[in-house]
């Protein structure tokens, strides 16, 4: 199971962060080889919607409140 979220930075650019199963760290997609491989494997599976759990809200760090 992969958890994924979209984060909008202060520069206005959106990035995807992923967390592998039973891990506590989130890594930006493209910055951590093992997490990237797990995400790509989940996308290539027969039912990616069951293997990738997307966080429903986009975290927007441009807003103060």
Query: 6-53 pLDDT, tens per residue?
Result: 999 888 899 999 999 889 999 999 999 999 999 999 999 888 888 999
Q: How far apart are CA 58 and CA 63, in angstroms?
A: 12
pLDDT value, residue 64: 67
Element (H, E) at 51: helix 48-51
pTM of the entire predicted model:
0.82
In our burial notation (b when 16+ CB lie closer than 10 A, e otherwise), range 20-29 reads beeeeeebee
**Strand, helix or coil for residue 40:** helix
pLDDT average, residue stretch 55-61: 85
pLDDT value, residue 58: 84
């Amino acid at each position: 199971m992969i958890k994924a979220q979209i984060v909008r930075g202060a520069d206005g650019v959106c990035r995807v962060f992923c967390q592998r199963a039973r891990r506590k760290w989130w890594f930006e997609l493209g910055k951590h080889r093992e997490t990237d491989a797990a995400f790509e494997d989940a996308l290539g599976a027969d039912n990616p919607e069951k293997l990738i759990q997307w966080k429903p809200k986009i975290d927007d760090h441009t807003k103060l409140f």
